[in-house]
Amino acid sequence: MTTTTERPDTAAATARPARGPGSARDGWIRRAPLLPALIFAIIVTQLPFLVTIYYSLQSWNLVRPGSQSFVGLDNYATVFTDSQFRGVALNSVVLTVGAVIFAMILGLLFALLLDRQFFGRGFVRTLLITPFLITPVASALLWKTVLFDPTYGLINFVLSPFGAGNTDWVSSYPLTSVMIALVWQWTPFMMLLTLAGLQSQPADVLEAARVDGAGSFAIFREVTIPHLRRFIELGVVLGAIYLVNTFDTIYMMTQGGPGTASANLPFYIYQRAFLGFDIGQSAAMGVVVVVATIIVSTFALRLIFRSFSGAEEAS
């Protein structure tokens, strides 16, 4: 025990003598605390997905009782030829990428503003993080009624001097409206992360750069941005994980409409399953989404892991 456990992976790889630490029994003792969580996660999150794969090979519509039969890959063929599905997939990408990017840019700017001494800094930070805490359903209602309402909404009131009178934001620009609400909700999260990053900058490095005669902008580019990188990566990856699953905001603001103009994949699959009762179809879509997500997230996870193993070596 005395020579092990400085680095998780090297310890696991090298400490494997025949007896004592590293033996099979010791391995199980080490693994035991992990098992409850692992087993729970596998049962609740992985098994349903296997069942989804099974359903995706069935033709099964709840409206037609006894319609369940094996149809192979038919559902997948339908999914790929469904032009609505493609439109919705595109919406998903636009919504997720757009919201993450805008929230990140705003969050970074706000973090830079808050990373300096000024009167009431703590209070301003409290104001800024609140949208992240608000129940998304409540925030969607807030945007739909209080802000975007064509007659009584605050947005039109504020814009009225500029001639933008009675725009019905939610029905004219559904996807943009949803994205604005999401950006508002997620900017605080990005701000919190980048602010944490800014405030953890090693003071001695900053000082050294200044002594070397670097200007503010040079310091920002050469020291701050590289230091912030893993905080930004973490924010992007976590934000994307949650934003790609957005359901409540769309459900409350637009119901995916008009048509499917503002539906994303989660909402569309929900519509197929719970309003169209087409289990086979929606399961096939679910599988397609999961495969696509796995491909994208493999890259994303690499990013997180690289950031983190780098972080641990540094500290």
Partner 1 sequence: MAEQTLSPTTTGSGAAPAADPPRIKPKKQRRTGNALLGVLAWIVGIGFFFPILWMVLTAFKQEADAYTSPPKLFFTPTLDQFSEVFSSGIGPYLLNSVFATLMSTVLVVLLATPAAYAVSLRPVKKTQDVLFFFISTKMLPVVAAIVPIYVVVNYIGMLDNVWTLVVLYTAMNLPIAVWMMRSFFQEVPKELLEAASMDGASLFRSLREVVLPVVSPGMAATALICVIFSWNEFFFAVNLTASQAATVPVFLVGFITSEGLYFAKLCAAATMAALPVVIAGWVAQNKLVQGLSFGAVK
Q: Which of 90, 88, 139 is nearest to 267 (CA)?
A: 88
* 37 near partner 1, judged by CB under 8 A: yes
Interface with partner 1 (CB under 8 A), residue total 115
Query: 102 or 110, CB closer to partner 1?
Result: 110
The span of 63-71, 82-90, 96-104, 109-117 binding partner 1 (CB under 8 A) equals: 109-117
The span of 64-72, 75-83, 94-102, 230-238 binding partner 1 (CB under 8 A) equals: 230-238
Q: Where are the beta strands (DSSP E) in the chain?
A: 58-59, 69-70
List residues bridging with 69 in a β-sheet: 59
Q: Which one of 1, 24, 63, 275 is in contact with partner 1 (CB under 8 A)?
A: 1
At residue 17, the 3 state secondary structure works out as coil
The span of 39-47, 82-90, 97-105, 170-178 binding partner 1 (CB under 8 A) equals: 39-47
Query: 140 or 174, CB closer to partner 1?
Result: 140
At residue 223, the 3 state secondary structure works out as helix
The span of 42-50, 64-72, 96-104, 167-175 binding partner 1 (CB under 8 A) equals: 42-50
Measuring CA to CA, how many Å separate 236 from each of 142, 192, 306? 25, 13, 14
Read off φ and ψ for residue 58, nearest 5 degrees. Answer: -110, 145
Encoded one letter per residue, x for contact with partner 1 by CB under 8 A and - for no contact, window 12-31 reads x--------------x--xx
* 11 near partner 1, judged by CB under 8 A: yes
Q: Report DSSP state, residue 272.
A: I
* 85 near partner 1, judged by CB under 8 A: no
Q: Which residue has the tokens 């990373």?
A: 115
- Asked whether the bond before 36 is cis by omega within 30 degrees of 0, the reply is no
Q: Which one of 103, 192, 236, 263 is in contact with partner 1 (CB under 8 A)?
A: 192
Query: 134 or 175, CB closer to partner 1?
Result: 134
Query: 55 or 102, CB closer to partner 1?
Result: 55
* 279 near partner 1, judged by CB under 8 A: yes
Q: Which of 223, 227, 231, 195 is nearest to 207 (CA)?
A: 223
Dihedral sign computed on CA atoms, order 260, 263, 266, 270:
negative
Q: Where in 201-220 is the site for partner 1 (CB under 8 A)?
A: 203, 206-207, 210
CA angle, residues 143, 149, 153, in degrees to nearest 5: 85
Measuring CA to CA, how many Å separate 131 from each of 128, 148, 252, 260? 7, 17, 17, 27
Q: Which one of 57, 99, 103, 273 is in contact with partner 1 (CB under 8 A)?
A: 273
* 161 near partner 1, judged by CB under 8 A: no
Q: Where in 50-69 is the site for partner 1 (CB under 8 A)?
A: 51-52, 55
Q: How far is the CB of 72 from partner 1 (least distance, A)?
A: 19
Q: Which one of 251, 257, 261, 303 is in contact with partner 1 (CB under 8 A)?
A: 251
Output the furthest CA–CA distance in the chain (Å, rounded).
81
* 225 near partner 1, judged by CB under 8 A: no
d(CA 164, CA 173) in angstroms, rounded, equals 14
Q: Which residue has the tokens 């976590």?
A: 238
* 172 near partner 1, judged by CB under 8 A: no
* Tokens encoding 157: 């009131």
* 119 near partner 1, judged by CB under 8 A: yes
The span of 66-74, 77-85, 97-105, 292-300 binding partner 1 (CB under 8 A) equals: 292-300
